[in-house]
Structures are given as C-alpha cells and as structure tokens.
Structure 1
Amino acid sequence: MITRRAALLGAVGAAAAPILASAAKAESAPDMTAAVASDVAHLPRIKRELVAPPFVHEHEQVAPGGPRVVEFTMDIVEQEMQIADDAWVQAMTFDGSVPGPMMVVHEGDYLELTLRNPPTNMLEHNIDFHAATGALGGGALTKVMPGEQTILRFKATRPGVFVYHCAPGGSMIPWHVVSGMSGAVMILPRDGLKDHDGIPVRYDRLAYIGENDFYVPKDETGAYRRYPDAVSGYADMMDVMNGLIPTHVVFNGAVGSLTGDRALKANVGEKVLIIHAQANRDSRPHLIGGHGDLVWEAGKFNNAPARDFETWFIRGGSAGAALYEFLQPGVYTYVNHNLIEAVNLGATAHFVVEGTWNNDLMEQVQAPTAYGAF
C-alpha cells in the first residue's frame, strides 16, 4: 500500500528520490530511550504571539526574573507570493511571511515551539534552530507531514541572534530555504545588551530584516515562469539554483518591501537595533548616511561589539546585529553593499527619520549653481 508520506515525496520527482532516501537515513531522530526527562514543571510559562517582520513580538530587554518556558505556535504556509512586478514564487513560509517571524527569549529560558503543517500543504517540513544543541538543531525531531504537528523545546544557552530554517533533507534543504523558509531567533542576555565597555545599552526600536535570494525560472521568451504549486516548479527551479546566480536578492520577501509606504520609521535620537539574517548567502549590510555604532557582526552577544562600522558582514547561514542612533532626519537607504544586488536585484530598504537637521554634522554651504560661479 502506498502511504501518504511516500505519495507526497514521490510528487517531487523521481530525480530527487535517491537523495531523499539517503538524507532520511542520515537525518533520522537520535536514540533517546536512556534520556532523562527535563524538569520544567516548576518554571513559569508565557505565551508569545508572533508578528510578521520587520516587527517583533512584545518582549523585555532585561529578563524580569528567573528562567521561563516561552511558548510559540507557528504554522507552515505554502502559498504563491509576488516578489517583483513581473515575478511570483511558490513560497514555503513559516507563518506566512518571508522571513519567518522572529522569536525572542532570554539566556536560560526554554523556547517551546508548536510547529504545525496544515493538511492543505503538499510537502514535508521541519525546523533547524541554529541556536539549539543536538538533533540537527531540532530538525531531526520536527519533521511533519501535511496534517501533522509537533512540539519542540530547547534551552537557550547562547545569547545572540541566530538563523532558523527548514531542512527536511537532501536537495529539499536548499530548495525550501530559497523558497522562503528561514527566520531568526534572538536570545538576549538576562541583564540585557552591553556596549564595548560592558555598560548596559537599550534600543528604542527593533528592525528585523531577512535577506532572501530567489531563483525564478524563465520561459523561452525570457518571462518569469509561474507555477500552480511548489511541486510543479521543482525541476526548473533546481536548474536555476544549481547555477548559483539568483534572479532576485530581496529584503523581507519582495523588491520594495521596506520602501515607500512600508519604509521603516525612526526619530532623531532613537537607537535602532537592526537584525539582519541571511540563511543561504553572504551579505554586506550598509546604512547609507549612517553607521553601525555597535556591531555584533557574528550576532553573538557574549562577544563585545565592534564600533563605528561603515559596512559589516553577514555570513550565509547566520544573523548579525547592529545598533545605531539616528542623528539626522531624512531618508536613509539600507542596502546589501554588493550594489548590483542592491540596485538591480532588489536588496534595498529605507529608514524614514523625523527630527531637526543639525548643520554642525552636515551643511550645504553652497547650493548647486553655474559652473565657475565661485
């Protein structure tokens, strides 16, 4: 008898079957028969409602007390998304957004996630937390078919910002990731962030930016193809992916997703913590007209932040953090400073900052006039 699992995997295509079978064997759940159950019954619990990027759910910057179990529920959503004026993808998403929502806890807390794969989906999914220890970051314990759900709990032992992503095995891993299935976790020190001298610092706003590279196939006329579901485009998309040249590099799921009416907001004098995550490729964030006052380039808060960066580096498969106090009003452009990817492929966002201009920091001494007039 053909099982539902076999039927769904078979729909992806015979070409991927050997890879999937090998991956399933290598990435099976570990033997836990001798493990002692974790005792968290005495800990308080708190439920957090996830919100879509670039925003982040309510949280405290300094832990209000001892460790807690912080509960989240997240649905996997397979849906078509428009990523540019002329391009659509059959996206695989955590909670319907690209990137998936950020989850925030404190060091020593337990993050407990209920991961649900609705019966309307076609594919198997899971979640690999780079912040977690063991079992492929939880990926070996969270594989859910359509119509299934699971609960994973892990202890937040390392403060910092970390990527999470789907990793069901073999060629499915890059396909799911570049189809939108990644997000970020922030584990704050219990006493909050500190600067290079160990002095506590706070942020007034948090901007969560997820960078994604897409690989959209074209037809014989050069137009981007559009597919009725994720499975239908698998073979064509793999051909483009294996060329390693993305057709789009975007912030938060689409070209222009953080510009115009959707631009990020701030005021002069406010400190903004920018979290930048990239699950697949290296990136080079740069804030045009501003700087990284404090930069945790590798995203780990046990390390003292660097200061005064113009451009910082996000390794593929990681997240970084930068704190900046805006000192002038106006529109600041935030880019991946591979300017080809920023301008031509879409990796651009805007911060619109309100306040009073400071001529001591910058002044137009003479407006443009006729050549040779002065």
Structure 2
Amino acid sequence: MTKFINPGLASTSRRNVLRGSLLAGAAAVTGGIAHQAAATPHRMAAPRMRLPEAHFVQAEKQAQSSAKPVDLSGYERVKQELVAPPYAPKHDQVAQGGPKIVEIEMDTTERLMVVDEDTGASIWALTYNGSVPGPLIIVHEGDYVELTMRNPHDSQMEHNIDFHASTGALGGGGLTHIYPGEKVVLRWKATKAGCFTYHCAPGGAMIPYHVCHGMNGAIMVLPRDGLKDKDGNPLKYDKIAYMGEQDYYLPIDEDGNFKQYAIAGEDYPDSIAAMATLTPTHQVFNGAVGALTGPGALKFNVGETVLMVHNSCNVDSRPHLIGGHGDYVWETSFDVAPLTSMETWFVRGGSAAAAMYTFEQPGVYAYVNHNLIIAAIKGATAHFVVEGEWNNALMEQVTAPESFEA
C-alpha cells in the first residue's frame, strides 16, 4: 500500500516526506509515469502532460512579490457562505454598488462516499467542502474572489485549486499547493462573465486522479447588470439548480466486484489503470447514482424560472430536460447573446454552462445527459418535481391506452 503521509511529522518536513512518499509509491506501481516522476523529484508528472517545473512556479512567486501592490482600500468586503449542491449561495442577480472582495472558505476534505448503493460501489472522494461537485460560487464581473483554503491535518494528500475564471499562475494552481495541516489565501479578480469550472491540479497524473475522484466544481461570474436576452432585456430566475457531472473509474477485482480501500490514495495504482481505459464505470450527477432522484429530486412550481448550472470538468455532456427546453442557454459566456428554445445543449469537458427555463406544466421532468446510455446505465439523470395545475392547451391525453382489434 502506498504511504501518502506520516501524520506525526512536523509541518516543515511533512511537505518533503509527503512528496517523497507519493513519488516512491508511484515508482512502485505505474511504470512509465513512475520513470518520469523519479527523474523529476519535485513533482509527479505523467509522460504526456508536462507542467511548468517547480523553479518556474518559484519565479512566478518572486515576480508577484516584486509587483506593484494593488490598492483595495475602496473595496467593500463581503463573506459568501457556500452551501452544498444542488443549491446556490445567497446572491444578488444585479450587483449592488461597486465591485467587492468576496470572501469564501473551503476545506479539501477526503471522505469515503457511496457511489451506487445497489452494487456497493464506493470511492474515497477528494472534495472541496465535502461535496461532489464542490460548492457553487457566485460573484459579479469586477469582483475579487478571496479564497481561504485549508487542507485538514488528517488528509492523506496534497491539494490545490485551478479556477478557469481567473488569470495567471495556472488559474491559481501554482500558488495554492497545500499539504495536510496547511492553509493558503488566494485573491484574484473576476474579469470574465460566465460559468466556469474549478478543480484540483497537483501535477501530472495526479490531476486526472483528483478530478476523477470528485475534486471539481463551478463558479458563476454574473454581469454586473445581470443576465439579458439578445435585445438587452433583463432576464431573472427564481431558483438555481446546480448539477456537477462526474465520471468515475472504479477499480474492479477478478470476481467483478468493486474494490474497497481503507484510506484515500490507497487506490492510486488501480485507479490509474482504470482511468487509462477512458471508460467510466459511472457517470453521475452530484456524486452518486440517484443523488438527484427520489428523495433528492429538486422541487419547483409551475411558473417558476430556474437557472440550471451544469459543471462537467472532465467529459463532454449533452444536457436535455425531458418535457422542457432551454429557453435561454449560455454554453460559453454571458458576454454573448444566449441561444434560445434549445432542445439539447452542449457542455464542453472542462467547462460549465447555464440554461434557463420557466416551467409550464406540473409533473416529473428528467434532466439527463442525452447520450442515453450514460443517462440510463451510467447514472447521469436528475429529476425535477414540479407542482401546479395542468394546462390541457399545451398537452392532453385525448384517449387513454386501450386494446384494439387486429
């Protein structure tokens, strides 16, 4: 078993020991990846994904230290309380006042999570604040995001964060590497409006390993004057439904059963082999099969307008709301006019997108990846339960099912 950390070590030596144990464990089990890791002792790297060397990251830090300080004296500080998916934090759709410094906090929690109760499949999920996906963050264009991120003392692994909405230092990934028992504060300016993914990116093969263990989420950067249609008319929503599409590659034993592991990281060699097939064992919404169905279904009312935010950090997705539509869809940016009346839209792997719909009929709506194999067999299905009065002008069963003569 790969040993990832010695909890008894002092923090100053812990970083070096943890890095060494990661590399030693990799060298024992991953062939070509291990060869590169051994040749590059300061990081773990997959042969086909070469990231900036440590001295480049150090140079980046030195450049930052010599840069001109930013005057933030005129910015109001506000704290955003993050909430677990599929819900959204409290926020203004139209910005109130000038740009702000929005303070948020995250813990890089490692937790054993059931993926599929029917098969007993589970994973040591690597998470932000304990959820897959990580919590939705909402700010406005021009705001600063100030993140305090902590890696708990009982963690097994190094973590960091790459914000696709940010500028420089590998999306912040180059400035946020923290080992168990460490914390870091990162501040960056939201200069682009849209929905964006964020994820852990420690380096090399550890990037897909962490992402495919759940360590990703979304941030929505709203225009300061809110969402608008192509003619500039304001668009408002009543609620947000936040979905994260997660691909898992769970190792299977020789008897066809999903393997179980005692601690986070113990599955590393098996997971790397499973991930190399590029064939997920599961592809689910919000961490587990059925997480957003049954008791977990989202509840709305006829007449409510819902903004569906869909994060897909690693795989392409084709969301479709069965029984509804995307009245307005922003696949890429809030700076461009939304697509309208969409039946199915596209979320590129490594991105997040938003779609708005006003419910007109009661009933159960299935929100699915319309690769229906993934929806029905791999698990990418959510249910929206909508209450209200039925409108026969939109749909009516004229005749109930009955037999007929051949």
Q: TM-score, normalised by structure 2?
A: 0.89
Note if 1:220 corresponds to 2:249: no
How far does the alpha carbon of each residue in 1:25-69 deviate from its partner, in whole angstroms, 9 at most, with x for none?
256241324311111122110011110000011100011111110
Q: Distance in 1 between matches of 2:44 and 2:319?
A: 38
Does structure 2 retain, via aligned residues, the 8 Å contact 1:102–1:185? yes
2:241 partner letter: A
Note if 1:206 corresponds to 2:240: yes
| Structure 2 CA distance for partners of 1:371 and 1:117, relative to 1, 3 Å | same
Q: Which runs of 4+ in 1 moved over 4 A?
A: 21-24
Q: Residue 168 of structure 1 corresponds to which residue in structure 2?
A: 202
| Structure 2 CA distance for partners of 1:201 and 1:347, relative to 1, 3 Å | same
Q: Residue 14 of structure 1 corresponds to which residue in structure 2?
A: 26
Q: Residue 320 of structure 1 corresponds to which residue in structure 2?
A: 353
Q: Select 1:5's aligned residue among 8, 15, 27.
A: 15
How far does the alpha carbon of each residue in 1:324-372 deviate from its partner, in whole angstroms, 9 at most, with x for none?
0000000000000111111001000000000000111101010011124
How far apart are residue 21 of structure 1 and its match?
4.8
Q: Distance in 1 between matches of 2:57 and 2:270?
A: 29
1:95 partner letter: N
Note if 1:246 corresponds to 2:275: no
Q: Residue 139 of structure 1 corresponds to which residue in structure 2?
A: 173
Q: Select 1:53's aligned residue among 82, 85, 100.
A: 85
SS at match of 1:58: coil
Q: Select 1:111's aligned residue among 121, 145, 148.
A: 145
| Structure 2 CA distance for partners of 1:28 and 1:21, relative to 1, 3 Å | farther
Q: Distance in 1 between matches of 2:348 and 2:143?
A: 26
Does structure 1 retain, via aligned residues, the 8 Å contact 2:329–2:356? yes
1:9 partner letter: R
Q: Residue 25 of structure 1 corresponds to which residue in structure 2?
A: 53
How far apart are residue 229 of structure 1 and its match?
1.3
Q: Distance in 2 between matches of 1:33 and 1:210?
A: 36
How far does the alpha carbon of each residue in 1:95-137 deviate from its partner, in whole angstroms, 9 at most, with x for none?
0000000111111111100011011101110000000000000
How far apart are residue 196 of structure 1 and its match?
2.0
Q: Which runs of 5+ in 1 are unaligned?
A: none
Note if 1:335 corresponds to 2:368: yes
Does structure 1 retain, via aligned residues, the 8 Å contact 2:44–2:205? no
How far apart are residue 208 of structure 1 and its match?
0.4
SS at match of 1:28: helix
| Structure 2 CA distance for partners of 1:164 and 1:116, relative to 1, 3 Å | same
Identical pairs, percent: 58
2:344 partner letter: T
Q: Distance in 1 between matches of 2:80 and 2:92?
A: 12
Note if 1:191 corresponds to 2:225: yes
> CA RMSD, aligned part only?
1.5
How far does the alpha carbon of each residue in 1:122-161 deviate from its partner, in whole angstroms, 9 at most, with x for none?
1110000000000000000001111100100111111111
Q: Distance in 2 between matches of 1:293 and 1:210?
A: 21
Q: Select 1:76's aligned residue among 108, 111, 114.
A: 108
Q: Distance in 2 between matches of 1:151 and 1:372?
A: 74
1:162 partner letter: F
Does structure 2 retain, via aligned residues, the 8 Å contact 1:24–1:169? no
2:84 partner letter: A
How far apart are residue 230 of structure 1 and its match?
2.0
Does structure 1 retain, via aligned residues, the 8 Å contact 2:128–2:135? yes
Note if 1:88 corresponds to 2:122: yes
Q: Distance in 2 between matches of 1:14 and 1:215?
A: 18
1:259 partner letter: T
2:100 partner letter: R
Q: Residue 75 of structure 2 corresponds to which residue in structure 1?
A: 43
Does structure 1 retain, via aligned residues, the 8 Å contact 2:44–2:206? no
1:163 partner letter: T
1:302 partner letter: D
Q: Residue 180 of structure 1 corresponds to which residue in structure 2?
A: 214
Q: Which runs of 5+ in 2 are unaligned?
A: 1-8, 28-33, 46-50
Q: Residue 34 of structure 1 corresponds to which residue in structure 2?
A: 66
Between 39-48 and 12-21, the greater mean CA deviation after superposition: 12-21
Q: Distance in 2 between matches of 1:222 and 1:5?
A: 38
Count of aligned pairs between the two proteins: 372
How far apart are residue 24 of structure 1 and its match?
6.7
